[in-house]
A and B are shown apart, each in its own frame.
Chain A
Amino acid sequence: MTKVIVKVEKVTKKFGSFTAVNNINFGILENEFFSLLGPSGCGKTTTLRMISGFERPTIGNIYIYGELANNIPPYKRKTNLIFQNLALFPIMNVYKNIAFGLEMQGTTKRIIKDKVYKYLETINLLPVERYARKSINMLSGGEKQRVAIARCLILEPAVLLLDEPLASLDLKLREQMKIELKMIQHRVKTTFIYVTHDQTEASAMSNRIGVMNKGELLQLGTPEELYSKPNCEFVAKFIGDSNKMSGVVESIIDGIVHYRFGDSIFYARAQNDIKVGGTVNVYTRLEDISISRETDIVKYKNLIEAWVREIVFEGTATRIICAYGDNKRFDALLFAKKGKRKYKMGEKIKLGWKMEDAKAFRGNGVVKDDSF
């Protein structure tokens, strides 16, 4: 059984009358890459700042290595934080920035030098002698990123906290740093807690993800679990790309919801407590939708007739944006080989999907779909 390094126990944080974090519980395991995922203002950064010691929980406790950390100031904690804007010291060069933490601990100059050079190698800034002397302003975005990581890692923290460190990078660099971060984590074998609003980032890097919204921790699990078994509507909507469809529940048989949309009945797997006569919101992944102009998809229980509204080429797949009913939107992905475009704009087509792939959540009584 792996050790729990950070334990967040019934933590609530209030700023005045505003509750930023509401009664959250989770534990982070040794050497884990853990992500807190959620839209901006969901309390993920506040949670991170409580773990690093910059904020104190209003209620609840935070344990680091089993020790109650509520009253330990940031500079005494075995956690290090990489700030969203990196917060590198502009008055110092790369070497001084990375050495700062060790200097504060009173490490001797020789050991500091060896370690700084070692970590410059770890983060792949070569040749190290040249980079060590560079001033911060001379570095590119990705290089700054690495220096910020090295500056924290050199202290060998129990936990490295990262507050959306990739947000300011351009797409290409972000993709590259994602992989780089994961490799660095494997190399240094440290626990990472990563905060982000980007679900692809979180899925790509994390062992486990905690999804937060409005101060609550909604679901905790591996990226695969969150993707295939969302426990609430928010997670279903937030992770991955889905079509949303709403309807009125006719009956529920063996966990399969029969719901009415227009004149037809559709089927979906009930995910939470759904009542007959109420509304449901049903989410279906784009890749689970079959698209055809023939009638060969009759085998699917759920079937709608639609027409092609837009065709968007996305590289690995082509997204067919369809319209059905009174201009409701429904997307499908087409993994066409050799980029062959089978469909034309305005063409009448059929969309079908399995009832196991459709996830039904209790609605709030209002039938509202994604429409144009």
Chain B
Amino acid sequence: MTLFRGDKRRLNTKPLFLASPAVLILLLLVFLPLILLVLFSFHPDAPDEQHVWTLENYKFVFINNPLFYKVLFQTILISLYAVIISLFICFPVAYYVAKIARKENKLTLVLLIIAPNMVSGFIIILSWLLFLADYGVLYFILKYLGLIEGPLHILYTRVAVTIGLVYSSTLWMFIPLYAVLESLDNSLIEAAADLGASNNRILLRIIIPYSKTAISTGCTLTFLSALGSYITPRFLGGKSGLMYVQLVFDAFYTSYNWNRGAVLAIFMVVIMAVMVFIGLRASGTGIKETMKL
């Protein structure tokens, strides 16, 4: 085994031995459960019929279940909203921190943006509950400003879920954008200006193309984190903000039907894999370049 390509020294240990802890963890905790899920999905619910192979579960989920499509559509829609809003918030912020803020302030700013992610997600949700409630903090602020009269009707809607998801996904969007903008040489921007590009043109022709990889990485990560979120829609969404993971959860724990739950879970893994694939293609780079970020 070598430490880098072209390294002539050789370590005496076998690569498989060094990699074995990671490989074992992956096998035991990721692949084995996935295989079990697939097996579950092809068996009926009844305990005494575990040897029977069936497509009943798939039929039930995909054909006899109108709620499935409704929730799936809503989940994708809310996740897309979260991605777009998050991008439009994070890009200017990342640009400011990377390019405009003074050097000595950068660390503080980055920490301020990262800090909320160190707080328990549950506590953040509780704060949002207080903030968005019908007679919550936001209500008092808006009322004080004279913008509204009656109570707010944001909590337990899609809007509340979207707000919560945008908030919790900031990090996924901010870090790749910040990293790439930090690496963008100022002289490229100046050169474009010198060659006659206005600020808008510089943004469209230089800065955004340069950060393309980071944008697609950030969007993919944010989308995945939104798609797989449970706590946020569970507490902020109520009935009208139902999201996909809740269906999975309900199948496993409420109706205690692991076989149908398995179908739902597998479908979600497939969606996520497709999303990662699309994200990679959109960035125009292979998986190798994306992993670098």
Contact = CB atoms under 8 A, between A and B. Distances in A.
A74 interface: yes
A152 B191 CA distance: 10
B141 interface: no
Nearest to A96: B205
Given A91-B210, A104-B201, A80 B194 contact: yes
Contacts of B201: 104
B192 A100 contact: yes
Chain B, interface residues (CB within 8 Å), range: 10 to 19
Chain A, interface residues (CB within 8 Å), range: 20 to 34
A73 B201 CA distance: 15
A105 B190 CA distance: 17
B188 A75 contact: no
A75 B187 CA distance: 14
Contact of B196 (A85, A89, A155): A155
A251 B170 CA distance: 79
Contact of A87 (B185, B197, B205): B185
Contacts of B24: none
A52 interface: yes
Interface string A82-108: 011101111100000000110011000
Given A54-B190, A74-B190, A89 B206 contact: yes
A75 B198 contact: yes
B100 interface: no
Contacts of B197: 75, 100, 104
B121 interface: no
Contacts of A52: 194
Contacts of A151: 195
B185 A85 contact: yes
Contact of A105 (B185, B191, B196): B196
Contacts of A152: 194-195
A276 B25 CA distance: 89
A210 to B, nearest CB: 22
Contacts of A76: 196
A42 interface: no
Nearest to A151: B195
Interface in B170-220: 185, 187-188, 190-198, 201, 205-206, 209-210
A79 B196 CA distance: 10
A75 B193 contact: yes
Nearest to A73: B193
Nearest to B188: A87
Contacts of B210: 90-91
A81 interface: yes
A190 B28 CA distance: 70
A90 to B, nearest CB: 8
Contacts of B193: 54, 73-75
A18 to B, nearest CB: 17
Contacts of B206: 89, 91
Contacts of B209: 91
A289 to B, nearest CB: 45
Contacts of B205: 100
Contact of B194 (A75, A85, A89): A75
Given A75-B193, A91-B209, A91-B210, A83 B187 contact: yes
A84 B186 CA distance: 12
Contact of A81 (B185, B188, B191, B198): B191
Contacts of B196: 75-76, 101, 104-105, 155
B276 to A, nearest CB: 23
A83 B194 CA distance: 10
Interface string B129-146: 000000000000000000
Given A89-B192, A91-B209, 8 more contacts: A79-B194, A83-B187, A87-B185, A89-B191, A91-B210, A100-B192, A100-B205, A152-B194
28 contacts: A52-B194, A53-B194, A54-B193, A73-B193, A74-B190, A77-B194, A79-B194, A80-B195, A81-B190, A81-B191, A83-B187, A83-B190, A83-B191, A84-B187, A85-B187, A87-B185, A87-B188, A87-B190, A89-B191, A89-B192, A90-B188, A100-B197, A104-B195, A104-B198, A151-B195, A152-B194, A152-B195, A155-B195
